[in-house]
Structure 1
Amino acid sequence: MNKKRQEIIKNASLSHRESLRKSLNNRLEAARVNGNDKLVKQLEAEAKYLHL
């Protein structure tokens, strides 16, 4: 692959991870506000699995 394509792929990957992180944080906040401890634990496990 040429360098430009590699850079585009890297940027897309970073953007995707950031989007996942933001989404997960929003879901965690909502679960905590609603007192849904089971969902909080599941989301925390997901974050750990994804290394976020």
Structure 2
Amino acid sequence: MSIMNKNRQQILTEAAIAHRETLRKNLQHRLEVARAQGNEKLIRQLEAEAAYLHLK
């Protein structure tokens, strides 16, 4: 594999990691708000989303 391909792959890997972390933080915030509001239905939906995305 050439150096450019390795660099490109590393950039893509880092972008995927950053994207996943952003998803996790966003979902965590949404869960905190739903819990603060006592919205049980939304909490269950967000927990299902987290499980589906393997974020929990």
Gapped runs of 5+ residues in structure 2? Answer: none
Gapped runs of 5+ residues in structure 1? Answer: none
Larger radius of gyration: 2
**Cα-Cα RMSD:** 0.9
TM-score, length-normalised on structure 1? 0.98
Number of residues paired by the alignment? 52
**Sequence identity percentage:** 63
TM-score, length-normalised on structure 2? 0.91
Aligned to 1:17: 20
After TM superposition, the runs of 4+ consecutive aligned structure 1 residues lying more than 2 A away are none
